[in-house]
Chains A and B, each alone.
Chain A
C-alpha cells in the first residue's frame, strides 16, 4: 500500500519542475514582447510612372492580426496583399530579445497621372488598434515622359516588332474528326519572363488536348524573320479535333508576359574616357520590366464534312488510323462465373472521343458497364494511344450462347476512305454451375425469373378467314333477320291452330258418338226385339250384348277393343261413372251370358234381359242428363 503513494509523490515533484520551467519561458517571452513598442509603417516609392508596377509594404514588428488594407481606388492592384513574416530571437547574457516582423505587400500600378494619397491601414495587436502612416505618391507620365524627363536622349527600345506571337495550324482543311495541331510561337529579341498563356485554353467547336505539359517550355531556337533574328519558342500546342463541319474561326490568342525593356540612362558627359566606357550598352543600359499583352493572329479552319456515300451504319465518328480487336478470357464457363471481354482500340486520332462499342450480349447475361481505360500519349505529333473497354459478363443460366461480332469503322485520313474491322464472334458454352456458387448468389431462391420484355411492338396481322362482307351491311335488321324472327312465330301459330283443329275434331267425333249412342243402342234393341219375336235366341243375345257394349263405348268414348268383362269396372271408374250403374251393367252382362244357357222359359228369359238392358240404358241416359 505504501509504495504507490511514494512513487506518486516523486512524480508530482517532477511535474512541478517542468511547470516552473515552462512558466519561466513564457514569462520571458511576454516580457520581451511587452518591452517593445509596436510600430506599424507603410513604405513605398514616392514617385512612380504611369503603368509602372511598384510595391506598397506595411510592416509591423509584432504579431498583428486583422490587417485592414487601405482603399486603393486610384491604383490598380496587381496582386496582394501578400504576407511574409520574419522573426529572430537573441539571447545575450541571459537577456532574451525577440524580433518579429510582419510585412503585408501590395503590388500596385499607377493608372493615371497625379498626386494620390494612400490612406492609413489598420491592424490590431493584443486587442489594440494600430494605424499606419498615410502618405502621398506622385504618379508621373508614362515611359516617354519618363525618358524625356531624363536627359532627353534615351529612346524607347521597345516596339511591336521586338516581341510577338504567331499561331500556326498544321492543316487548314481537315475533315470532321481529324486532328489538327495548333501551335502558338513567341518571337522575341528582348528578354522576357513570366509568360502567361493561360488565356489560351478554349476552342469552341473543337475538342482540344494540350500537347505541352505545363511546366515544359518549348525548346528555344533562332529564326530569321524579315531580316531580323529572333529567339523563338513554342508556348502552347494543342491537338484539336473538329466537332462540326464548316468554317470555324479560332480567335486571336492572348499572352501576357513581362518584357525587359532597355532604356538608356543619362549620358555621362563629364569624363570623355569613361564616357565611352559607361556609354557602352552593357553598362549603360537600365532595364525596365514592362508588362506586355501580345495577341496572335486569328485562324480560320475550314472543316470538311466526312464523305457520306459509303459511310458504314456503325461508324461512330472515329477519324485517324486505328486497330480494333477483342479478347475473351474464356468461352467455357459454369453458370455464375464471370467472363472478361476486352475490346482494344489502338491508334492515332480522336481516340478519347470514341464510345464503347455496342455489343449485343445475350439477354440472359448479366453485363456490367464497361471499364474504360485510356493510355493516351499526347506528344508534338498529336494524340495517340490505346483505349480499352473491358466488359464483365456473368452468364446466369446454362446453355450455348453467342456474342455477336462487333463492327468498328473509322475514317482513314491518309487513304481518305472508311475502314471497317470486325471482331470475331464468340460462342460461349455455359455449363451448369456448382450448387454452392449459385446458392451464394441467389441465396437459396428458386431459379424462376420474370419474363424479360426486350421489345414492344404491335401484334401481327390476322390471316384468313377474313369474314369479308359488303360494307355497311348487317345481319341485324336485315330481311333475313326479320324473316328468321317471323318464322318461329308463324310456326308457333300454325302448330297452335292445327292442334286446336285436331282437338276440336276429336271432340266432335266423341259428341257424335255420344249422341248416336242412344240411337244405335235403340236400333240394336229394336233388332233384338224382332229376334225376340221370332224366337231367334242366338241372334237376340248377340244383338243385346252388341247394344250394351256399343252404348258403353260410344257414351264414355272408350275404344271398343279396350273393353272386356274383366276390365270394364276399372275403366268406367276412371271415367267417373257411378258405382251403382257399373254394378248394374256388369249384372246385366252376366245375366245376358247366364240367361242364354239358363233353364226355363226361353222367351220369358229373353224378354227379361231385353227389359233389363232397356232400363239400364234409360237409367244411364237419365243419369247423364
Chain B
C-alpha cells in the first residue's frame, strides 16, 4: 500500500509539468515586483519542492531572501545558483553584496595565479556545457580520423591527422574538466552557517577548546565528518569542528 502511494506521489510529481512550474515562477516574479518577498520566496521554494531547479530559480530565490534581510539563506541560494552556472555575472555580483552584509569578514587567502586561471577556465562552462564540448570534439576527432584513413590525397591526410589529434586532446581534457566539476558537485563539500553565532571547536566534542566564532552567512568548506560533527575550513584557512545542524550544504 505504502509503495503504491509512493509511486502515485512520484507519478504526480512527474505529471506536475514544467508548465505549471513556469506559472509558479511567473507568479513569484510578480510577487517579487510587488515587494511581497515572503510570498515570492514561498512560491520559488514550491518549485524546488516539486523537484525542479535551475540557476535562475536559485538566483531569484536568493534575491527574495536578500530583500527579506535573511542573508544566510540569500547566500545559500546564490551559491547554489553559482554552482549551476559558475560564470554568471549577476549571481557573482549579488553574492558579493550579500557577503558584504554579513557579520564575518574573512580575509580570503589569495590563490596562486595558475589556480586562479584554472578556476576561471573551469568556471567558463557548466558541467553540462563541458560535457557537450567533449562530445563535439570527440565527434570531430573521429571524423578527422576517418578522413585521415580514407582520403588518399597527401595534404588532406596530413592536416586531418593533426586536427584529429587536437580534437582528441580537447575531448579528453573537456571530459576530465566536466568530470572534476561533476564530482565536486556530487560531494556537497561546501556549506553556509545558519546559526547566528557558532563557536568552532578544536575537536568533535563539546568539551574541547573553543577556537573561534563565526556567524550566520559565512561559507565553510566541509573537510571531514565524525558523528554529529563536521570538520570545517573557512576561507582564511582556519580549521575546526562544528555541529552538523548549524550549517546547510550548498
Chain A contact residues, CB within 8 Å of chain B = 456-464, 466-472, 474-477, 481, 484-485, 488-489, 491-492, 495-496, 499
Contact = CB atoms under 8 A, between A and B. Distances in A.
Contacts of B93: 458-459
8 contacts: A458-B94, A461-B29, A462-B90, A468-B54, A468-B57, A471-B53, A475-B128, A488-B138
A471 B52 contact: yes
Interface string B85-104: 00000100110011000000
A469 B142 contact: no
A474 B63 contact: no
Given A461-B60, A462-B56, A492-B145, A468 B47 contact: yes
Interface in B110-144: 127-128, 130-132, 134-135, 138-139, 142-143
B21 A495 contact: no
Contacts of B52: 468-471
Contacts of B63: 458-461
Main SS of the interface on chain A? loop
A489 B59 contact: no
A491 B26 CA distance: 44
Given A458-B94, A476-B178, A467 B138 contact: no
B47 to A, nearest CB: 7
A467 B146 contact: no
A337 B210 CA distance: 64
B240 to A, nearest CB: 30
Contacts of B51: 470-471
A489 B138 CA distance: 9
Nearest to A492: B142
Given A469-B53, A471-B53, A476-B178, 4 more contacts: A459-B93, A462-B60, A468-B53, A476-B182
B57 A466 contact: yes
Contact of B90 (A459, A466, A469): A459
B25 A488 contact: no
Contacts of B143: 488
B165 interface: no
Contacts of B64: 461
A474 B150 contact: no
Nearest to A491: B142
Contacts of A481: 131, 135
A167 to B, nearest CB: 49
Contacts of A477: 131, 179, 182
Contacts of A471: 48, 51-53
B139 to A, nearest CB: 4
Interface string B163-181: 0000000000000001100
Interface in B22-81: 22, 25-26, 29, 32, 47-48, 51-57, 59-60, 63-64, 66-67
A474 B128 contact: yes
B173 to A, nearest CB: 14
Contacts of A467: 54-56
B121 to A, nearest CB: 17
Contacts of B145: 492
B211 to A, nearest CB: 33
Contacts of B179: 476-477
A461 B57 CA distance: 9
A495 B151 CA distance: 13
Contacts of A472: 53
B249 to A, nearest CB: 13
B24 to A, nearest CB: 10
A502 to B, nearest CB: 11
Nearest to B101: A458
Contact of A476 (B21, B130, B142): B130
A161 B25 CA distance: 85
Given A458-B93, A476-B131, A488-B139, A466 B56 contact: yes
A17 to B, nearest CB: 87
B156 interface: no
B66 A458 contact: yes
B91 to A, nearest CB: 9
Contacts of A459: 63, 90, 93-94
